[in-house]
Amino acid sequence: MTREEFRKRTFQFGIRCIRLAESLPKTTTSQVAAKQLIRCATSVGANYRAAIRGRSRADFISRMGIVEEECDETLYWIEIIIELGLVPAARTTELQREANEILSIVVSSIKTARKGTKSQIST
C-alpha cells in the first residue's frame, strides 16, 4: 500500500466515524461520546498526513505514535458506544475491523522506522 492509499484510507476512516457519530441519539451522553469519537477518529488521518511530511525519521516515528494512540482511542469510544447500547455491536464490526487494521499497519511502520529500514508504507 502506498502512502497516498493509506492517507485516503485514514481519511475515509474518519468520515465513517463521523457518520456513526451523527447517527447517535441526541442525548447528552451519546453526544459526548460522539464528539470524542469524531475528535480521535479524524485525528488518525490528520496526524498521518503530518507524519508523512515529517522532517526526520524521529519526527515520523513521533507522529505515527500519535496516530497509534488516536486509533486505539477511537476503538475505545466505539466500545463505549456499544456498551451503552447506543448502536448494535454488529453495526460497528466493519469499522472496528478497519481500526484494528490501521492500528496494525501503524505499529508495523513504527517498528520498521525504528529499525532504520524503509517504511512498510512505500512512497
Q: Is position 73 within any domain?
A: yes
Q: Is position 122 within any domain?
A: no
**Segments in the chain below pLDDT 70:** 117-123
Q: DSSP code of 2? A: B
Q: Tell whether pTM > 0.75.
A: yes
pLDDT value for 1: 85
Q: Is position 121 within any domain?
A: no
Cell 488516536: give the residue. Answer: 70
Q: DSSP code of 123? A: -
Q: Is position 109 within any domain?
A: yes
Nearest to 59 by CA among 6, 113, 117: 113
Q: Is position 120 within any domain?
A: no
pLDDT value for 119: 46
pLDDT value for 118: 53
Q: Is position 18 within any domain?
A: yes
Range of the domain at 74: 3-115
pLDDT value for 4: 95
The 8 Å CB, 24+ separation contacts for 81-88 are 81/20, 81/24, 81/30, 81/33, 81/37, 84/29, 84/30, 84/33, 86/24, 86/25, 86/30, 86/33, 87/20, 87/23, 87/24
User: Count of domains in the chain?
Assistant: 1
Q: Residue 95 maps to which CATH number?
A: 1.20.1440.60
Q: Is position 19 within any domain?
A: yes
pLDDT value for 103: 98
Question: How far does CA 60 lie from the centroid of its chain?
Answer: 16
Q: Is position 102 within any domain?
A: yes
